[in-house]
Structure 1
Amino acid sequence: SSRIYYAGWSRSQEGKKARLSRSRAADLFFHIAVLPFRGRMRAIVQKDIKLFFRDASQWSQLFLLLALTIVYIYSFKLLPLERSPLPTIFIQNLISFLNLGMVGFVTSAVAVRFVFPAVSLEGESFWIVRSSPLPLKDLLWAKFWSSVLPLLVLAEVLIVLSNVLLKVSTLMMIIGVTTVALMTFGIAALGIGMGAIFPRFRYENVAQIPTGFGGIAYMIVTMLFIGAVITLEAWPVYRIFLSHSIGAGMGPARWAWAALSFFLVIVLNVLAVILPMKTGLKRLMAREI
Protein backbone atom coordinates (compact mmCIF):
# COMPACT_ATOMS: atom_id res chain seq x y z
CA SER A 1 0.00 0.00 0.00
CA SER A 2 2.88 2.38 0.74
CA ARG A 3 4.05 2.06 -2.87
CA ILE A 4 0.58 2.82 -4.20
CA TYR A 5 0.11 5.83 -1.92
CA TYR A 6 3.53 7.23 -2.77
CA ALA A 7 2.95 6.78 -6.50
CA GLY A 8 -0.42 8.53 -6.26
CA TRP A 9 1.00 11.39 -4.22
CA SER A 10 3.92 11.76 -6.63
CA ARG A 11 1.66 11.95 -9.67
CA SER A 12 -0.62 14.47 -7.95
CA GLN A 13 2.37 16.80 -7.68
CA GLU A 14 3.21 16.45 -11.35
CA GLY A 15 1.69 18.34 -14.23
CA LYS A 16 0.68 17.31 -17.69
CA LYS A 17 2.85 17.96 -20.69
CA ALA A 18 3.32 21.68 -21.15
CA ARG A 19 1.46 21.86 -24.46
CA LEU A 20 -0.61 24.87 -23.48
CA SER A 21 2.16 26.83 -21.73
CA ARG A 22 4.40 26.41 -24.76
CA SER A 23 1.74 27.41 -27.27
CA ARG A 24 1.71 30.67 -29.19
CA ALA A 25 -1.34 31.83 -27.25
CA ALA A 26 0.52 31.39 -23.96
CA ASP A 27 3.58 33.20 -25.32
CA LEU A 28 1.37 36.06 -26.46
CA PHE A 29 -0.34 36.23 -23.05
CA PHE A 30 2.97 36.31 -21.17
CA HIS A 31 4.30 38.95 -23.57
CA ILE A 32 1.28 41.23 -23.07
CA ALA A 33 1.29 40.70 -19.29
CA VAL A 34 4.85 41.99 -18.92
CA LEU A 35 4.59 44.89 -21.39
CA PRO A 36 4.34 47.57 -18.63
CA PHE A 37 7.66 46.40 -17.15
CA ARG A 38 11.24 46.87 -18.30
CA GLY A 39 14.61 45.23 -17.75
CA ARG A 40 15.12 43.10 -14.66
CA MET A 41 11.64 43.80 -13.40
CA ARG A 42 10.15 42.31 -16.57
CA ALA A 43 12.14 39.10 -16.09
CA ILE A 44 11.00 38.75 -12.46
CA VAL A 45 7.35 39.38 -13.29
CA GLN A 46 7.42 36.95 -16.20
CA LYS A 47 8.98 34.28 -14.01
CA ASP A 48 6.35 34.75 -11.30
CA ILE A 49 3.48 34.61 -13.80
CA LYS A 50 4.76 31.42 -15.38
CA LEU A 51 5.28 29.75 -12.01
CA PHE A 52 1.77 30.79 -10.97
CA PHE A 53 0.11 29.14 -13.97
CA ARG A 54 2.28 26.05 -13.70
CA ASP A 55 0.97 25.38 -10.19
CA ALA A 56 -2.55 23.97 -10.43
CA SER A 57 -3.15 24.64 -6.74
CA GLN A 58 -2.63 28.34 -7.46
CA TRP A 59 -4.46 29.15 -10.68
CA SER A 60 -7.38 26.83 -9.92
CA GLN A 61 -8.38 29.19 -7.10
CA LEU A 62 -9.15 31.82 -9.73
CA PHE A 63 -12.42 29.96 -10.34
CA LEU A 64 -13.34 30.43 -6.68
CA LEU A 65 -12.43 34.10 -6.99
CA LEU A 66 -14.67 34.44 -10.04
CA ALA A 67 -17.57 32.81 -8.18
CA LEU A 68 -17.00 35.13 -5.21
CA THR A 69 -17.08 38.17 -7.49
CA ILE A 70 -20.34 37.10 -9.14
CA VAL A 71 -22.07 36.40 -5.82
CA TYR A 72 -20.80 39.66 -4.32
CA ILE A 73 -22.09 41.78 -7.20
CA TYR A 74 -25.38 39.91 -7.56
CA SER A 75 -26.16 40.47 -3.87
CA PHE A 76 -26.51 44.21 -4.52
CA LYS A 77 -29.16 43.55 -7.14
CA LEU A 78 -31.28 41.78 -4.52
CA LEU A 79 -31.24 44.58 -1.95
CA PRO A 80 -34.83 45.71 -1.15
CA LEU A 81 -34.00 49.43 -1.09
CA GLU A 82 -37.57 50.49 -1.92
CA ARG A 83 -38.81 49.01 1.38
CA SER A 84 -36.62 51.29 3.50
CA PRO A 85 -38.39 54.09 5.44
CA LEU A 86 -35.49 56.40 4.57
CA PRO A 87 -35.16 58.12 1.17
CA THR A 88 -33.85 55.70 -1.45
CA ILE A 89 -31.09 58.02 -2.63
CA PHE A 90 -29.77 58.31 0.93
CA ILE A 91 -29.75 54.52 1.42
CA GLN A 92 -28.10 53.98 -1.96
CA ASN A 93 -25.21 56.31 -1.20
CA LEU A 94 -24.89 55.11 2.41
CA ILE A 95 -24.54 51.49 1.28
CA SER A 96 -22.13 52.61 -1.43
CA PHE A 97 -19.90 54.28 1.14
CA LEU A 98 -19.99 51.30 3.51
CA ASN A 99 -19.24 49.12 0.50
CA LEU A 100 -15.81 50.77 0.33
CA GLY A 101 -14.88 48.89 3.47
CA MET A 102 -16.34 45.63 2.18
CA VAL A 103 -14.42 45.88 -1.08
CA GLY A 104 -11.29 46.60 0.92
CA PHE A 105 -11.84 43.51 3.09
CA VAL A 106 -12.46 41.30 0.05
CA THR A 107 -9.32 42.66 -1.61
CA SER A 108 -7.24 42.03 1.51
CA ALA A 109 -8.63 38.49 1.77
CA VAL A 110 -7.50 37.83 -1.80
CA ALA A 111 -4.16 39.52 -1.10
CA VAL A 112 -3.38 37.37 1.94
CA ARG A 113 -3.68 34.31 -0.30
CA PHE A 114 -1.88 35.55 -3.41
CA VAL A 115 0.20 38.63 -2.46
CA PHE A 116 1.44 37.89 1.05
CA PRO A 117 3.18 34.61 -0.01
CA ALA A 118 4.92 36.29 -2.99
CA VAL A 119 8.31 36.61 -1.27
CA SER A 120 8.08 33.21 0.41
CA LEU A 121 7.44 31.57 -2.97
CA GLU A 122 11.13 32.00 -3.73
CA GLY A 123 11.46 29.01 -1.42
CA GLU A 124 14.76 27.63 -0.23
CA SER A 125 16.37 28.92 -3.42
CA PHE A 126 16.11 32.45 -1.99
CA TRP A 127 19.85 32.30 -1.30
CA ILE A 128 20.41 32.32 -5.07
CA VAL A 129 18.49 35.59 -5.39
CA ARG A 130 20.22 36.99 -2.31
CA SER A 131 23.70 36.26 -3.68
CA SER A 132 22.92 37.37 -7.24
CA PRO A 133 23.61 40.87 -8.65
CA LEU A 134 19.86 41.53 -8.54
CA PRO A 135 19.10 44.10 -5.80
CA LEU A 136 16.48 42.94 -3.31
CA LYS A 137 14.79 46.31 -3.75
CA ASP A 138 14.11 45.50 -7.42
CA LEU A 139 12.78 42.08 -6.42
CA LEU A 140 10.30 43.51 -3.91
CA TRP A 141 9.05 46.27 -6.19
CA ALA A 142 8.68 43.85 -9.09
CA LYS A 143 6.52 41.63 -6.91
CA PHE A 144 4.58 44.68 -5.74
CA TRP A 145 3.72 45.89 -9.25
CA SER A 146 2.88 42.41 -10.51
CA SER A 147 0.51 42.01 -7.54
CA VAL A 148 -1.11 45.42 -7.37
CA LEU A 149 -2.32 45.50 -10.98
CA PRO A 150 -4.53 42.35 -10.77
CA LEU A 151 -5.78 43.45 -7.35
CA LEU A 152 -6.63 46.87 -8.75
CA VAL A 153 -8.67 45.32 -11.57
CA LEU A 154 -10.58 43.12 -9.11
CA ALA A 155 -11.27 45.94 -6.64
CA GLU A 156 -12.40 48.41 -9.32
CA VAL A 157 -14.69 45.84 -10.94
CA LEU A 158 -16.33 45.20 -7.56
CA ILE A 159 -16.82 48.87 -6.67
CA VAL A 160 -17.91 50.05 -10.13
CA LEU A 161 -20.43 47.27 -10.81
CA SER A 162 -21.89 47.43 -7.30
CA ASN A 163 -22.28 51.22 -7.58
CA VAL A 164 -23.94 50.83 -10.98
CA LEU A 165 -26.44 48.37 -9.49
CA LEU A 166 -27.05 50.74 -6.56
CA LYS A 167 -27.53 53.66 -8.99
CA VAL A 168 -25.43 56.00 -6.87
CA SER A 169 -24.64 59.60 -7.68
CA THR A 170 -21.67 60.58 -9.81
CA LEU A 171 -19.99 62.05 -6.74
CA MET A 172 -20.13 58.74 -4.85
CA MET A 173 -18.90 56.87 -7.91
CA ILE A 174 -15.83 59.13 -8.12
CA ILE A 175 -15.16 58.88 -4.38
CA GLY A 176 -15.56 55.10 -4.47
CA VAL A 177 -13.28 54.51 -7.45
CA THR A 178 -10.57 56.83 -6.11
CA THR A 179 -10.65 55.51 -2.54
CA VAL A 180 -10.57 51.86 -3.61
CA ALA A 181 -7.65 52.54 -5.95
CA LEU A 182 -5.66 54.17 -3.14
CA MET A 183 -6.49 51.40 -0.66
CA THR A 184 -5.48 48.71 -3.15
CA PHE A 185 -1.97 50.12 -3.39
CA GLY A 186 -1.71 50.12 0.39
CA ILE A 187 -3.10 46.58 0.70
CA ALA A 188 -0.67 45.24 -1.91
CA ALA A 189 2.33 46.99 -0.35
CA LEU A 190 1.41 45.72 3.10
CA GLY A 191 1.19 42.22 1.65
CA ILE A 192 4.62 42.32 0.00
CA GLY A 193 6.26 44.18 2.89
CA MET A 194 4.87 42.02 5.68
CA GLY A 195 5.49 38.94 3.56
CA ALA A 196 9.16 39.98 3.52
CA ILE A 197 9.12 40.65 7.27
CA PHE A 198 7.61 37.24 8.02
CA PRO A 199 8.90 35.01 5.21
CA ARG A 200 8.33 31.27 5.23
CA PHE A 201 10.73 29.76 2.72
CA ARG A 202 10.19 26.20 3.90
CA TYR A 203 6.70 24.93 3.19
CA GLU A 204 4.99 21.87 1.79
CA ASN A 205 2.01 23.70 0.33
CA VAL A 206 1.56 27.33 -0.69
CA ALA A 207 -1.66 27.51 1.33
CA GLN A 208 0.40 27.05 4.52
CA ILE A 209 2.24 30.36 4.08
CA PRO A 210 -0.56 32.79 5.08
CA THR A 211 -1.78 30.61 7.97
CA GLY A 212 1.08 31.55 10.28
CA PHE A 213 1.60 34.55 12.53
CA GLY A 214 2.60 36.77 9.61
CA GLY A 215 -0.63 36.15 7.71
CA ILE A 216 -2.76 36.84 10.79
CA ALA A 217 -0.79 40.01 11.54
CA TYR A 218 -1.25 41.12 7.93
CA MET A 219 -5.03 40.71 8.09
CA ILE A 220 -5.20 42.66 11.36
CA VAL A 221 -3.07 45.50 10.00
CA THR A 222 -5.05 45.73 6.75
CA MET A 223 -8.34 45.83 8.66
CA LEU A 224 -7.01 48.68 10.79
CA PHE A 225 -5.76 50.43 7.66
CA ILE A 226 -9.10 50.10 5.84
CA GLY A 227 -10.98 51.18 8.97
CA ALA A 228 -8.78 54.27 9.30
CA VAL A 229 -9.41 55.28 5.68
CA ILE A 230 -13.18 54.86 6.03
CA THR A 231 -13.21 56.78 9.32
CA LEU A 232 -11.27 59.70 7.86
CA GLU A 233 -13.63 59.94 4.89
CA ALA A 234 -16.92 59.42 6.75
CA TRP A 235 -17.58 62.98 7.92
CA PRO A 236 -16.49 64.91 4.79
CA VAL A 237 -18.35 62.50 2.48
CA TYR A 238 -21.50 62.88 4.57
CA ARG A 239 -21.28 66.68 4.57
CA ILE A 240 -20.59 66.88 0.83
CA PHE A 241 -23.44 64.50 0.02
CA LEU A 242 -25.81 66.41 2.32
CA SER A 243 -24.91 69.75 0.75
CA HIS A 244 -25.57 68.33 -2.73
CA SER A 245 -28.88 66.80 -1.63
CA ILE A 246 -30.38 69.93 -0.09
CA GLY A 247 -28.64 72.36 -2.43
CA ALA A 248 -26.84 74.23 0.36
CA GLY A 249 -23.20 75.22 0.45
CA MET A 250 -20.70 73.83 2.94
CA GLY A 251 -18.86 77.00 3.73
CA PRO A 252 -15.08 77.61 3.75
CA ALA A 253 -14.50 75.99 7.16
CA ARG A 254 -16.21 72.72 6.25
CA TRP A 255 -14.44 72.58 2.89
CA ALA A 256 -11.15 73.06 4.71
CA TRP A 257 -11.94 70.17 7.09
CA ALA A 258 -12.97 68.00 4.15
CA ALA A 259 -9.76 68.84 2.27
CA LEU A 260 -7.72 68.03 5.38
CA SER A 261 -9.47 64.67 5.78
CA PHE A 262 -8.84 63.67 2.16
CA PHE A 263 -5.24 64.84 2.46
CA LEU A 264 -4.77 62.62 5.52
CA VAL A 265 -6.22 59.70 3.54
CA ILE A 266 -3.60 60.23 0.84
CA VAL A 267 -0.82 60.51 3.43
CA LEU A 268 -2.01 57.33 5.14
CA ASN A 269 -1.99 55.42 1.85
CA VAL A 270 1.48 56.70 0.95
CA LEU A 271 2.78 55.57 4.34
CA ALA A 272 1.06 52.20 3.87
CA VAL A 273 3.08 51.74 0.68
CA ILE A 274 6.48 53.08 1.74
CA LEU A 275 6.86 51.89 5.35
CA PRO A 276 6.17 48.15 4.89
CA MET A 277 8.25 47.99 1.71
CA LYS A 278 11.23 49.64 3.42
CA THR A 279 10.89 47.53 6.56
CA GLY A 280 10.54 44.33 4.55
CA LEU A 281 13.62 45.20 2.51
CA LYS A 282 15.68 45.78 5.66
CA ARG A 283 14.57 42.46 7.15
CA LEU A 284 15.45 40.57 3.99
CA MET A 285 18.85 42.25 3.72
CA ALA A 286 19.61 41.43 7.36
CA ARG A 287 18.61 37.80 6.85
CA GLU A 288 21.48 35.34 6.72
CA ILE A 289 21.78 33.24 3.57
Structure 2
Amino acid sequence: MNTYKLNRNKCIYYALLITFCLSTSCVSNKKIAYFQDIQTVNQAQLENAIKFTEPLIQSDDILSINIFTLNPQSGTVVNQAASTPTLGGNTNNSLSTQSTGFLVDKNGEIELSLVGKVKVAGLTTYQARELIREKVSTFYKEPNIQLRFANFKVSVLGEVSSPSAYTLPNEKVSILDALSLAGDLTIYGRRDNILIVRDNNGKKEFARLDLNSSNIFSSPFYYLKQNDVIYVEPNKRKVSASNSAQIQTISVVASVISVIVLAIANFK
Protein backbone atom coordinates (compact mmCIF):
# COMPACT_ATOMS: atom_id res chain seq x y z
CA MET A 1 0.00 0.00 0.00
CA ASN A 2 1.51 3.34 -1.04
CA THR A 3 1.91 6.33 1.25
CA TYR A 4 -1.05 8.19 -0.26
CA LYS A 5 -3.51 5.37 0.39
CA LEU A 6 -2.14 4.89 3.91
CA ASN A 7 -2.61 8.55 4.76
CA ARG A 8 -6.08 8.55 3.21
CA ASN A 9 -7.12 5.55 5.30
CA LYS A 10 -5.80 7.24 8.43
CA CYS A 11 -7.84 10.35 7.63
CA ILE A 12 -10.96 8.26 7.18
CA TYR A 13 -10.31 6.39 10.45
CA TYR A 14 -9.75 9.53 12.52
CA ALA A 15 -12.73 11.29 10.96
CA LEU A 16 -15.03 8.39 11.83
CA LEU A 17 -13.57 8.25 15.35
CA ILE A 18 -14.27 11.96 15.88
CA THR A 19 -17.82 11.53 14.61
CA PHE A 20 -18.41 8.64 17.00
CA CYS A 21 -17.00 10.56 19.97
CA LEU A 22 -19.14 13.58 19.22
CA SER A 23 -22.29 11.50 18.94
CA THR A 24 -21.67 9.62 22.21
CA SER A 25 -20.01 12.49 24.12
CA CYS A 26 -17.01 10.22 24.76
CA VAL A 27 -18.21 9.31 28.26
CA SER A 28 -16.07 6.86 30.17
CA ASN A 29 -17.74 4.06 32.14
CA LYS A 30 -14.80 3.54 34.48
CA LYS A 31 -16.62 5.22 37.38
CA ILE A 32 -19.73 3.05 37.36
CA ALA A 33 -18.56 0.35 39.80
CA TYR A 34 -19.06 1.03 43.52
CA PHE A 35 -16.28 0.88 46.15
CA GLN A 36 -13.45 0.37 43.68
CA ASP A 37 -10.76 0.62 46.38
CA ILE A 38 -12.42 -1.76 48.83
CA GLN A 39 -9.69 -4.42 48.48
CA THR A 40 -7.03 -2.00 49.72
CA VAL A 41 -8.94 -1.10 52.90
CA ASN A 42 -7.99 -2.62 56.23
CA GLN A 43 -11.06 -4.50 57.46
CA ALA A 44 -10.47 -3.68 61.12
CA GLN A 45 -10.24 0.04 60.37
CA LEU A 46 -13.37 -0.14 58.24
CA GLU A 47 -15.40 -1.78 61.00
CA ASN A 48 -14.28 0.82 63.52
CA ALA A 49 -15.21 3.62 61.15
CA ILE A 50 -18.85 2.58 60.78
CA LYS A 51 -20.78 4.03 63.70
CA PHE A 52 -24.51 4.46 64.01
CA THR A 53 -25.92 7.31 66.08
CA GLU A 54 -29.56 7.12 67.04
CA PRO A 55 -31.60 9.97 65.54
CA LEU A 56 -33.12 12.50 67.90
CA ILE A 57 -36.80 13.38 67.98
CA GLN A 58 -37.57 16.78 66.47
CA SER A 59 -40.59 19.04 66.12
CA ASP A 60 -43.09 17.87 63.47
CA ASP A 61 -42.04 14.24 63.92
CA ILE A 62 -44.86 11.74 64.32
CA LEU A 63 -44.40 9.06 66.96
CA SER A 64 -46.19 5.75 67.07
CA ILE A 65 -46.77 5.00 70.75
CA ASN A 66 -48.49 1.92 72.15
CA ILE A 67 -48.96 1.27 75.85
CA PHE A 68 -49.70 -2.26 77.03
CA THR A 69 -50.80 -3.13 80.56
CA LEU A 70 -52.00 -6.20 82.42
CA ASN A 71 -55.50 -5.10 81.47
CA PRO A 72 -55.35 -4.57 77.67
CA GLN A 73 -58.41 -2.31 77.68
CA SER A 74 -56.92 0.11 80.20
CA GLY A 75 -54.28 1.32 77.73
CA THR A 76 -56.67 2.18 74.94
CA VAL A 77 -57.37 5.66 76.29
CA VAL A 78 -53.70 6.62 76.24
CA ASN A 79 -53.09 5.00 72.87
CA GLN A 80 -55.73 7.09 71.09
CA ALA A 81 -54.20 9.49 68.56
CA ALA A 82 -55.30 11.39 65.50
CA SER A 83 -54.80 9.77 62.10
CA THR A 84 -52.09 11.68 60.30
CA PRO A 85 -51.24 11.36 56.57
CA THR A 86 -47.67 10.44 55.74
CA LEU A 87 -45.81 10.07 52.49
CA GLY A 88 -45.65 6.55 51.15
CA GLY A 89 -42.78 5.11 49.14
CA ASN A 90 -44.22 5.12 45.64
CA THR A 91 -43.36 6.63 42.31
CA ASN A 92 -46.29 9.04 42.39
CA ASN A 93 -45.10 10.85 45.54
CA SER A 94 -48.68 10.94 46.78
CA LEU A 95 -50.19 10.92 50.25
CA SER A 96 -51.07 7.26 50.10
CA THR A 97 -51.10 5.87 53.63
CA GLN A 98 -52.59 6.80 56.96
CA SER A 99 -50.31 6.65 59.98
CA THR A 100 -51.68 6.85 63.51
CA GLY A 101 -49.31 8.69 65.78
CA PHE A 102 -48.62 11.58 68.11
CA LEU A 103 -47.36 14.79 66.51
CA VAL A 104 -44.41 16.52 68.19
CA ASP A 105 -45.46 20.17 68.35
CA LYS A 106 -43.32 23.29 67.94
CA ASN A 107 -42.41 23.15 71.62
CA GLY A 108 -41.12 19.60 71.22
CA GLU A 109 -44.00 18.09 73.18
CA ILE A 110 -46.61 15.40 72.65
CA GLU A 111 -49.86 15.20 74.54
CA LEU A 112 -51.04 11.88 75.96
CA SER A 113 -54.42 11.22 77.50
CA LEU A 114 -54.26 11.09 81.31
CA VAL A 115 -50.53 11.86 81.28
CA GLY A 116 -50.71 15.27 79.61
CA LYS A 117 -47.84 16.98 77.76
CA VAL A 118 -44.48 15.24 77.59
CA LYS A 119 -41.29 16.91 76.30
CA VAL A 120 -39.63 14.47 73.87
CA ALA A 121 -37.71 16.68 71.43
CA GLY A 122 -33.96 16.10 71.63
CA LEU A 123 -34.42 12.55 72.95
CA THR A 124 -33.81 9.25 71.23
CA THR A 125 -36.76 6.91 70.89
CA TYR A 126 -35.29 4.81 73.72
CA GLN A 127 -35.04 7.83 76.04
CA ALA A 128 -38.56 8.97 75.13
CA ARG A 129 -39.88 5.46 75.77
CA GLU A 130 -38.34 5.37 79.27
CA LEU A 131 -39.65 8.86 80.06
CA ILE A 132 -43.20 7.90 79.04
CA ARG A 133 -42.91 4.64 81.00
CA GLU A 134 -42.04 6.66 84.11
CA LYS A 135 -45.01 9.00 83.68
CA VAL A 136 -47.49 6.26 82.78
CA SER A 137 -46.44 4.19 85.81
CA THR A 138 -48.40 6.65 87.92
CA PHE A 139 -51.59 5.28 86.40
CA TYR A 140 -50.68 1.71 85.38
CA LYS A 141 -48.65 -1.01 86.99
CA GLU A 142 -45.59 -2.20 85.03
CA PRO A 143 -46.66 -0.77 81.64
CA ASN A 144 -44.96 -1.98 78.48
CA ILE A 145 -44.18 0.91 76.11
CA GLN A 146 -43.53 0.61 72.39
CA LEU A 147 -42.39 3.79 70.64
CA ARG A 148 -41.03 4.37 67.15
CA PHE A 149 -41.02 6.97 64.40
CA ALA A 150 -44.17 6.81 62.28
CA ASN A 151 -42.78 9.22 59.69
CA PHE A 152 -39.12 8.30 59.36
CA LYS A 153 -38.99 9.54 55.77
CA VAL A 154 -36.16 10.07 53.28
CA SER A 155 -36.50 11.49 49.79
CA VAL A 156 -34.47 10.19 46.85
CA LEU A 157 -34.36 12.46 43.81
CA GLY A 158 -32.53 12.69 40.51
CA GLU A 159 -31.03 9.89 38.44
CA VAL A 160 -32.52 6.85 40.18
CA SER A 161 -34.98 4.32 38.83
CA SER A 162 -37.84 5.29 41.17
CA PRO A 163 -37.43 8.76 42.68
CA SER A 164 -39.83 9.23 45.58
CA ALA A 165 -40.25 9.88 49.29
CA TYR A 166 -39.92 6.65 51.29
CA THR A 167 -41.29 6.06 54.78
CA LEU A 168 -39.05 3.52 56.51
CA PRO A 169 -39.91 1.05 59.26
CA ASN A 170 -36.71 1.47 61.29
CA GLU A 171 -34.18 4.11 62.28
CA LYS A 172 -30.95 2.45 61.16
CA VAL A 173 -31.01 3.23 57.46
CA SER A 174 -27.94 3.85 55.30
CA ILE A 175 -27.67 5.69 52.02
CA LEU A 176 -27.26 2.30 50.32
CA ASP A 177 -30.59 1.17 51.78
CA ALA A 178 -32.31 4.28 50.45
CA LEU A 179 -30.79 3.94 46.99
CA SER A 180 -31.84 0.29 46.92
CA LEU A 181 -35.42 1.29 47.69
CA ALA A 182 -35.25 3.73 44.78
CA GLY A 183 -34.09 0.99 42.40
CA ASP A 184 -30.42 2.06 42.34
CA LEU A 185 -28.87 4.75 40.16
CA THR A 186 -29.53 4.87 36.45
CA ILE A 187 -26.63 4.65 34.01
CA TYR A 188 -26.78 8.45 33.81
CA GLY A 189 -26.31 9.06 37.56
CA ARG A 190 -23.02 10.39 38.94
CA ARG A 191 -21.77 7.92 41.51
CA ASP A 192 -18.94 10.12 42.72
CA ASN A 193 -20.99 13.14 43.81
CA ILE A 194 -24.15 12.13 45.71
CA LEU A 195 -25.65 15.12 47.54
CA ILE A 196 -27.21 14.72 51.00
CA VAL A 197 -29.34 17.56 52.37
CA ARG A 198 -30.09 17.36 56.10
CA ASP A 199 -32.24 19.53 58.35
CA ASN A 200 -30.50 19.85 61.71
CA ASN A 201 -32.58 21.89 64.16
CA GLY A 202 -33.77 24.23 61.44
CA LYS A 203 -30.37 24.57 59.77
CA LYS A 204 -29.50 22.93 56.46
CA GLU A 205 -26.42 20.72 56.26
CA PHE A 206 -24.94 19.48 52.99
CA ALA A 207 -22.55 16.64 52.21
CA ARG A 208 -21.16 14.99 49.07
CA LEU A 209 -20.57 11.24 49.03
CA ASP A 210 -18.54 9.20 46.56
CA LEU A 211 -19.94 5.71 45.98
CA ASN A 212 -16.76 4.78 44.11
CA SER A 213 -14.76 5.12 47.31
CA SER A 214 -14.85 3.09 50.52
CA ASN A 215 -14.50 6.36 52.46
CA ILE A 216 -18.29 6.57 52.32
CA PHE A 217 -18.47 4.09 55.20
CA SER A 218 -16.75 6.51 57.58
CA SER A 219 -18.93 9.48 56.65
CA PRO A 220 -21.33 10.84 59.31
CA PHE A 221 -23.88 10.98 56.48
CA TYR A 222 -23.62 7.27 55.66
CA TYR A 223 -26.48 6.57 58.06
CA LEU A 224 -29.49 8.73 57.26
CA LYS A 225 -31.70 10.75 59.56
CA GLN A 226 -35.40 11.50 59.23
CA ASN A 227 -36.29 13.87 56.38
CA ASP A 228 -32.88 13.57 54.68
CA VAL A 229 -32.91 14.33 50.95
CA ILE A 230 -30.65 12.40 48.56
CA TYR A 231 -30.00 13.93 45.15
CA VAL A 232 -28.22 12.02 42.38
CA GLU A 233 -26.73 14.41 39.87
CA PRO A 234 -26.89 13.53 36.15
CA ASN A 235 -23.57 12.88 34.44
CA LYS A 236 -22.25 14.70 31.38
CA ARG A 237 -23.74 12.14 29.03
CA LYS A 238 -27.27 12.81 30.32
CA VAL A 239 -26.73 16.56 30.24
CA SER A 240 -25.52 16.35 26.65
CA ALA A 241 -28.45 14.17 25.64
CA SER A 242 -30.85 16.69 27.18
CA ASN A 243 -29.30 19.66 25.44
CA SER A 244 -31.10 19.92 22.09
CA ALA A 245 -28.91 22.76 20.90
CA GLN A 246 -25.78 20.69 21.43
CA ILE A 247 -27.34 17.72 19.67
CA GLN A 248 -28.09 19.90 16.65
CA THR A 249 -24.50 21.17 16.63
CA ILE A 250 -23.15 17.63 16.80
CA SER A 251 -25.38 16.62 13.88
CA VAL A 252 -24.10 19.50 11.74
CA VAL A 253 -20.45 18.77 12.61
CA ALA A 254 -20.94 15.05 11.94
CA SER A 255 -22.48 15.84 8.55
CA VAL A 256 -19.56 18.10 7.61
CA ILE A 257 -17.06 15.44 8.68
CA SER A 258 -18.93 12.83 6.64
CA VAL A 259 -18.72 15.04 3.53
CA ILE A 260 -14.99 15.53 4.11
CA VAL A 261 -14.50 11.78 4.52
CA LEU A 262 -16.33 11.05 1.28
CA ALA A 263 -14.34 13.72 -0.53
CA ILE A 264 -11.06 12.25 0.68
CA ALA A 265 -12.14 8.72 -0.17
CA ASN A 266 -13.09 9.67 -3.75
CA PHE A 267 -10.10 11.88 -4.34
CA LYS A 268 -7.63 10.51 -6.84
TM-score by length of 2: 0.22
Q: More helix per residue: 1 or 2?
A: 1
Q: More strand per residue: 1 or 2?
A: 2
Q: Which one has the largest radius of gyration?
A: 2
TM-score by length of 1: 0.21
